[in-house]
Structures are given as C-alpha cells and as structure tokens.
Amino acid sequence: MNSKTKIFITGGTFDKEYNELTGKLYFNYTHMHELLKLGRCNVDVDIETLMMVDSLDMTENQRDIIVQKCIREPLNTIIITHGTDTMVQTAHTLAKNIKNKTIILTGAMIPFKFGSSDGLFNMGSALAYVQSINKGIYIAMNGQIFNYENVKKNAESGVFEELELC
C-alpha cells in the first residue's frame, strides 16, 4: 500500500521550543519536515499546519476546525499531531463525525527540539499504523496503537494505556 497520507499539525509538545531567557515553552513553527527527514521517511505525505496550540488551551471551536478539515480532506489516511493532555477528547469528537477514514492522533511528552523526544518514535509508529490498520480513529503513542474508546493517558507514568474494563 503506497498512497499519500495527510499530516495535520495542531501543536502540542511535539512542536514546542524552549525560551532560554524566560524559561517558558512556546510555539514558533512545526518541526515535522525536520523530524521526517531525520527519520529518513519515504512515505508520501502532505503536511498542513492547522494551528499551534497547547491541547489544554484547545477550544471546542478549534476541535471543530480539525473535524471539518478531516471531513473535507480527500485523502483517507490522516495523522494528527496533538497535545497529549486532551488527545483522547479530540479523538472522541472526530469519531462522532467521521466513519470512513483512518485517522491516528499522536504526540510527544518531550518537545522534538530537546533532542531526547519521543516524537520521532511516535510519528514513525503512526506512519506505519496508518498504512496498515482498518478505518477508524486511533491514538498511537509509546509504540502502541489504541482504539479511541479504550485509551487514557496515565499522568503518573507519562504513557498511554488501555482502560481497565470492569
């Protein structure tokens, strides 16, 4: 399977940078092109920046923008970079509105520019999964793929895990 994949950039830790003077993290531009080059990616992708926001600051209007862009996107395989704190919430919003595409949300716990980021690994996993998994809404983190309905971020360990079903 060798079709093009859309990558929508929404911000999150993936693209944050560190201001050495203020000690704060901020957004400048996406590092996705650099990340894919570093990973020697040969997947045909089309990258589009939708917004650069921390997911804790993401509004319902911004989530609607993500949904509408995914609906209108002619490509059927989509990866969305997203902040990890509300990634599951956005996945649920997408699932309510989209049934006919493969959409994977991924992110990073450490900014790419820090050099020790998990972003490269998570994006590589997302690119592999989006080419091989059935249509649906998923989260790819920590080398695993999760159905949007059965995942949570464990804030204590900093990893995503399946929900414990009772």
Instruction: Give the per-residue pLDDT at 110.
Output: 76
Distance CA 150, CA 165 (A): 9
* Strand extents, DSSP E, 22-118: 25-27, 45-53, 77-81, 102-106
Contact 154, 146 (CB under 8 A): no
Q: Is residue 166 scored above 70 in pLDDT?
A: no
**Residue 1 confidence (pLDDT):** 45
pLDDT at 18: 78
Assigned token pair, 17: 């940078």
Are the C-beta atoms of residues 80 and 8 closer than 8 Å to each other? yes
pLDDT tens digits along 63-101: 999 999 999 999 999 999 999 889 999 999 999 999 999
Are 138 and 147 in contact, with CB atoms under 8 Å apart?
A: yes
pTM above 0.75?
A: yes
pLDDT value of residue 133: 95
- At residue 112, does pLDDT exceed 90? no
Examine the pLDDT at 141 and tell me if it is beyond 90: yes
Q: What is the pLDDT of residue 31?
A: 83
Q: 28-32, 97-101, 130-134: lowest mean pLDDT where?
A: 28-32
Instruction: Check: CB of residue 6 under 8 Å from CB of residue 77.
Output: yes
Task: Supply the pLDDT for residue 140.
Answer: 96
